[in-house]
């Protein structure tokens, strides 16, 4: 067998395909973050430092340099395309903070985007309040999307009074009168955008969010009514932006080009109507290649960021030239593409279970061992490449008989245990026999999944990877260390929630979706950490408190030359009392209840004073503790 190298590991886990250059496997078999040339940090070193400090896992590592790098890449991609095509307008990006409202994320994007006048988008009053407080370029857009009440509109107009470039986007026709009313009351002239329902639709999981039946937006008739109503009010100049959107994570660049052409056609006709539009907002949808396959698969995308920028600029320019109208400032609301790469969830493997683990022990046979167990023994001894299909079918039938006989009381527990262990040994022998065959029979295709280990990981799928549970989103997962060793186990992952859905049984692959993940053997002698990558978009804000597992701790890490790093900030995860209080309980009430129960137990002699004190101390300690499992090293 050829030696297994770090390059082999990088290929096995597809690191070079999905990382966009921000992660790599070094010669020592460790995953490094590489936010810029000559700058890197070893993830295992960061984790070890945190553990030495006494911090507990799971933990999210955030890399602000990666965030800033993505902002730069997007803006420079559009600048390059504008320069290459001689485009007459400009580009301004907008970050929709619904993708990730974490303070570090928003502030890093605002700071990194300042020189590009990169703006923000708010879809609620709370998000708008957050955005208004950010330090932004005076020309940076602050787009107000989503349904609005008077308070939302008033806050947006006060933003204009503060000198910010706030645009109120109409999501339905009736919002126009509300904007006009609040504008008159405050004496602040608005800047209005209008979302138009394109006939074109995106591709991938969010295809239904575009098209004629989209949740947001005005149709052609309503759009013209907005124009005429503003003309009546002598406020046509306030309509500055046409906004379109065909969905998130668009996998096919052709869909983008079709939508942009339609949007530009609408823009051109509005200009001909006398509307002084300045901005053409092509919405979100710039994808992330989660599986690295560069295809139209829902977890991928068949284009690069530079191809996206070039196609958008070219499509807008072409339609504008055809119609003889000025070229607008192009706006895009990319969120996923900016934030996904910056966050890595690190989880420890705390145990391993599975059929091959338990089958190491085969109980001794009983003196009167049942014939069905003897039949399984004979299959195990005689199975080979000539008869493996027949033997497999016989073994499956014998196992079913084994369970039926046990249910009817004709088989002992010892016979059942021995029979099941022998059956698992048969499956393992089968797997070795067929592993080198050019063709594997249909009935044996699921054998690797059946035999896979279950690696128990200290995290909650519902809190940290809600999209994996809800919409079967795929994320790259790889060990962060030992990658110069050949992985010898095939595994699925399970979390520590008391929910059968708390598992991951689909993994990225260049050609397909894998049912198992290759991992190293874990014997408990040293910590084994898995990294869940491309976690920065939506997962932080969609996570649930299933089983009262709260937000995990996070470390903000700066990579330095020479593979060094600084932990700029550490934010501890939610304590048990905080997540309990979020469900309507009060901490003093909980403490008083336990105290009263302890007093009664002491009074009747079930607790002595020392035990009572220890009980109350332990209870208080757990209320103040991390909601995840904590093991003493």
Q: What residue has token string 């290459």?
A: 84
Q: For 25-55, what is each residue's pLDDT tens digit?
A: 999 999 999 999 999 999 999 999 999 999 9
Q: What is the pLDDT of residue 180?
A: 97
Domain assignment present for 34: no
Instruction: Mention every residue, 6+ apart, whose C-beta is less than 8 A from residue 614.
Output: none
Lowest mean pLDDT among 34-43, 70-79, 474-483, 622-631: 622-631
Q: How far apart are CA 236 and CA 230, in angstroms?
A: 5
Q: What is the pLDDT of residue 445?
A: 79
Q: What is the pLDDT of residue 358?
A: 54
Q: Are 487 and 518 in contact (CB under 8 A)?
A: yes
Q: What is the pLDDT of residue 354?
A: 84
Q: What is the pLDDT of residue 487?
A: 95
Same domain, 331 and 422: no
Say if residue 207's pLDDT is above 70: no
Annotated binding residues, as ranges?
Answer: 280-290
Domain assignment present for 32: no
Q: Average per-residue pLDDT in the chain?
A: 93
**Domain end residue (candidates: 417, 448, 479):** 448
Q: Is 498 a catalytic residue?
A: yes
Same domain, 394 and 327: no
What are the helix and strand counts (H, E) for the chain? Answer: 23, 21
| Average pLDDT, integer, range 390-396 | 93
Q: What is the pLDDT of residue 41?
A: 97
Annotated binding residues for substrate, as ranges?
Answer: 280-290
- Range list of β-strands (E), 43-140: 59-62, 91-96, 119-122
Domain assignment present for 226: yes
**Residue % of the chain over a pLDDT of 90:** 87
Q: Give the structural domain span for 277.
A: 65-340
Strand, coil or helix: 422: helix
Specify the higher pLDDT residue, 81 or 359: 81
Same domain, 105 and 219: yes
Domain assignment present for 521: no
Domain assignment present for 181: yes
Residues 96, 39, 533, CA angle at the centre, nearest 5°? 45
Same domain, 322 and 406: no
| pLDDT-based confidence at residue 336 (cuts at 50, 70, 90) | very high
Q: Are 242 and 193 in contact (CB under 8 A)?
A: yes
Same domain, 308 and 162: yes
Specify the number of domains making up the chain. Answer: 3
Q: How far apart are CA 342 and CA 67, in angstroms?
A: 6
Domain assignment present for 251: yes
Same domain, 199 and 122: yes
Same domain, 180 and 98: yes
Same domain, 325 and 250: yes
Say if residue 360's pLDDT is above 80: no
Structure tokens at 238: 């306030």
* Helical segments of 291-335, H only: 305-323
Q: What is the pLDDT of residue 631?
A: 78
58 cis-preceded (ω within 30 degrees of 0): yes
Say if residue 205's pLDDT is above 80: no
Structure tokens at 126: 């709370």
Same domain, 202 and 313: yes
Same domain, 87 and 211: yes
Domain assignment present for 393: yes
Q: What is the pLDDT of residue 442?
A: 82
Domain assignment present for 616: yes
From the list 131, 143, 320, 498, the catalytic residue is: 498
Say if residue 436's pLDDT is above 80: no
Same domain, 322 and 377: no
Whichever domain contains 393, its CATH number is 1.20.58.930
| Average pLDDT, integer, range 561-579 | 95
Whichever domain contains 124, its CATH number is 3.20.20.10
Q: What is the pLDDT of residue 444?
A: 86
Q: Are 469 and 501 in contact (CB under 8 A)?
A: yes
| Average pLDDT, integer, range 609-631 | 92
| pLDDT-based confidence at residue 632 (cuts at 50, 70, 90) | low
Q: For 276-315, what is each residue's pLDDT tens digit?
A: 999 999 999 999 999 999 999 999 999 999 999 999 999 9
Angle between helix 305-323 and helix 64-85 axes, rounded to 10 deg = 30
**Domain end residue (candidates: 448, 479, 505):** 448
**Domain end residue (candidates: 291, 319, 340):** 340
pTM: 0.91
Q: For 45-92, what is each residue's pLDDT tens digit?
A: 999 999 999 999 999 999 999 999 999 999 999 999 999 999 999 999
Q: For 166-187, what is each residue's pLDDT tens digit?
A: 999 999 999 999 999 999 999 9
Same domain, 330 and 386: no
Q: What is the pLDDT of residue 37?
A: 93
Q: What is the pLDDT of residue 558?
A: 97
Q: What is the pLDDT of residue 437?
A: 84
| Average pLDDT, integer, range 480-508 | 95
């Amino acid at each position: 067998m050829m030696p297994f190298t770090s390059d082999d590991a990088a290929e096995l886990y597809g690191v070079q395909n999905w990382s966009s250059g921000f992660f790599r496997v070094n010669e020592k078999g460790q995953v490094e973050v590489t936010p810029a040339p000559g700058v890197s940090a070893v993830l295992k070193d960061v984790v070890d430092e945190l553990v030495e400090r006494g911090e507990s896992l799971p933990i999210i590592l955030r890399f602000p340099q990666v965030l800033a790098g993505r902002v730069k890449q997007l803006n420079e991609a559009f600048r390059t395309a504008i320069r290459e095509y001689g485009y007459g307008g400009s580009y301004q990006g907008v970050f929709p903070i619904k993708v990730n409202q974490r303070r570090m994320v928003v502030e890093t994007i605002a700071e990194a985007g300042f020189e590009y006048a990169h703006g923000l988008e708010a879809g609620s009053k709370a998000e708008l309040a957050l955005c208004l407080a950010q330090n932004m370029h005076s020309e940076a857009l602050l787009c107000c999307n989503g349904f609005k009440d008077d308070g939302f509109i008033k806050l947006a107009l006060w933003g204009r009074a503060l000198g910010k470039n706030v645009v109120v986007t109409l999501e339905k026709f009736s919002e126009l009168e509300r904007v006009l009313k609040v504008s008159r009351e405050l004496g602040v002239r608005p800047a209005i955008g209008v979302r138009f329902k394109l006939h074109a639709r995106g591709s991938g999981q969010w295809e239904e969010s575009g098209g004629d039946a989209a949740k947001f937006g005005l149709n052609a008739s309503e759009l013209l009514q907005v124009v005429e109503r503003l003309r009546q009010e002598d406020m046509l100049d306030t309509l500055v932006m046409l906004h379109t959107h065909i969905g998130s994570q668009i996998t096919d660049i052709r869909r983008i080009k079709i939508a942009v052409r339609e949007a530009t056609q609408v823009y051109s006709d509005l200009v001909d109507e006398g509307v002084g539009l300045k901005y053409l907002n092509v919405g979100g949808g710039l994808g992330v290649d989660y599986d690295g396959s560069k295809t139209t698969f829902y977890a991928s995308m068949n284009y690069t960021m530079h191809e996206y920028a070039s196609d958008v600029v070219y499509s807008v320019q072409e339609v504008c030239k055809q119609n003889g109208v000025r070229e607008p400032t192009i706006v895009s609301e990319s969120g996923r593409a900016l934030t996904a790469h910056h966050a890595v969830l690190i989880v420890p493997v705390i145990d391993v279970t599975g059929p091959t683990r338990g089958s190491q022990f085969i109980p001794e046979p009983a003196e009167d061992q049942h014939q069905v167990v003897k039949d399984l023994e004979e299959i195990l001894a005689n199975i080979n490449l000539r008869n493996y299909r027949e033997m497999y079918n016989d073994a499956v039938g014998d196992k079913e008989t084994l369970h039926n006989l046990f249910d009817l009381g004709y088989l002992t527990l010892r016979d059942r245990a021995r029979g099941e262990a022998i059956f698992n040994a048969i499956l393992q022998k089968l797997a070795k026999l067929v592993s080198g065959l050019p063709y594997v029979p249909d009935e044996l295709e699921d054998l690797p999944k059946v035999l896979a280990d279950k690696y128990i990981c200290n995290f909650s799928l519902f809190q940290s990877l809600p999209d994996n549970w809800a919409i079967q989103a795929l994320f790259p997962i790889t060990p962060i260390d030992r990658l110069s060793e050949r992985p010898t186990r095939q595994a699925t992952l399970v979390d520590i929630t008391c929910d059968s859905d708390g598992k991951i049984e689909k993994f990225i692959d260049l050609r397909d979706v894998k049912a198992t993940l290759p991992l190293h053997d874990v014997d408990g002698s040293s910590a084994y950490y898995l990294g869940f990558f491309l976690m920065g978009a939506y997962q932080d804000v969609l996570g649930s408190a299933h089983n009262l597992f709260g937000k995990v701790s996070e470390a903000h890490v700066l990579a330095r030359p020479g593979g060094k790093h600084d932990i700029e900030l550490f934010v501890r995860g939610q304590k048990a009392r905080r997540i309990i209080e979020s469900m309507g309980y009060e901490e003093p009430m909980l403490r008083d209840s336990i105290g009263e129960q302890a007093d009664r137990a002491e009074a009747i002699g079930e607790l002595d004073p020392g035990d009572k004190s220890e009980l109350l101390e332990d209870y208080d300690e757990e209320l103040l503790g991390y909601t995840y499992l904590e093991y003493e090293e």
